[in-house]
Amino acid sequence: MKRRREAASRQSTAKVLRTRREEEELPSRSRDLGRWFYALWKFSRPHTIIGTSLSVLGLFLITYSDVSDKISSLYPIPYTLYPILGAWIACICGNIFIVGLNQLEDVAIDKINKPHLPLASGEFSLRTGQVIVTVTGILGLLVAWLMGPFLFGMVGISLAIGTAYSLPPIRLKRFPFWAALCIFSVRGAIVNLGLF
């Protein structure tokens, strides 16, 4: 009888300890998840995300102001938001692909010049960076394809130029003129024409 009570006591103590451990791990997991998303935010280079978002929104508003009377008579307002949402997701994914690919190629340089970036600081492994770049590249092309041929062409050309900018053997960023032309052509011409 005494042994049964001791065994029951040990089991309940073990259960309490297990429950406490799980409760302690929960905030730790949420903290880890928060850190991961913060690292993803840094990996995506926030200044480029902001620029891309403002570009998509600005071009949508310009286009919408020209055709709003025609569209509003055909579609209710929520349906006019689908194109901007699709374009925004495709462009953000393309943006993360391009800046992520650049970081994958520049880890050694970034350890000196930009040690706060997730790959350079070790917050992300190279494998994690590769997965993020692959997923965002595929997702950007897929969403753009679903939205239409002009957006698909714009995202595809932007990803191709971004790849030529960063990856050997071409690696256009080695040459100041070609690097500037890549940035200007994607940010200035291709995005504006493709979204408009």
Q: Do 57 and 129 fall into the same domain?
A: yes
Residues 89 and 163 occupy one common structural domain: yes
What CATH number should be reported for the domain holding residue 181? 1.10.357.140
Same domain, 33 and 50: no
Structural domain of 25? 1-43
Residues 27 and 95 placed together within one structural domain of the fold = no
> For the segment 100-126, what is each residue's pLDDT rounded down to a tens digit?
999 999 999 999 999 999 999 999 999
Output the pLDDT for position 39.
95
DSSP string, 8-69: HHHHHHHHHHHHHHHHHHHHHHHHHHHHHHHHHHHHT-HHHHHHHHHHHHHHHHHHHHHHHH
Whether 10 and 95 share a structural domain: no
| Domain match, 50 and 39 both | no
Angle at 125 between CA 123 and CA 130, to 5 degrees: 125
Co-location of 58 and 124 in the same domain: yes
Work out how many domains the chain is built from and give that number: 2
Q: Name the residue with higher pLDDT: 30 or 182.
A: 182
| In a shared domain, residues 72 and 83 | yes
Tell whether 73 and 164 lie within a shared domain. yes
Nearest to 54 by CA among 76, 84, 98, 80: 84
Indicate the average pLDDT of the chain.
Answer: 84
Do both 76 and 20 map to the same domain? no
At 72 the pLDDT is: 59
Pair (20, 115) in one structural domain? no
Per-residue pLDDT tens digits for 27-81: 677 788 889 999 999 999 999 999 999 988 888 888 777 766 666 555 566 666 7
